[in-house]
Amino acid sequence: MNKPLPVTHRHYFHDWLRVIAVAVLNLYHLGMLFSENWGFHYKSTYISHYVEYY
C-alpha cells in the first residue's frame, strides 16, 4: 500500500518575500522609463536624474 506523505510546514514568509521581490523588480523597470542613461526600449518625455543611482 502507499504510505501517506509526511506533513511539512509551509513557510509563508517565502511567499511574501517573493511578492516583495516582484514589486521591487516592477518599480525598477518602471524607473527605467524615466532615466536618461539606462538602456531601455521605451523612454518617457519626462526624464529625471533622480531615479539613477550614483
Segment 13-29 shows an average pLDDT of 93
Q: With 0.75 as the threshold, say if the pTM is over it.
A: no
At 16 the pLDDT is: 94
Which one-letter DSSP state was computed for residue 7?
P
Buried-state track 2-27, b at ≥16 Cβ within 10 A, e below 16: eeeeeeeeeeeeeeeeeeeeeeeeee
Is the confidence at residue 29, as pLDDT, over 80? yes
At 31 the pLDDT is: 82
Q: Residue 23 — pLDDT band, cuts 50, 70, 90? A: very high
Segment 2-28 shows an average pLDDT of 88
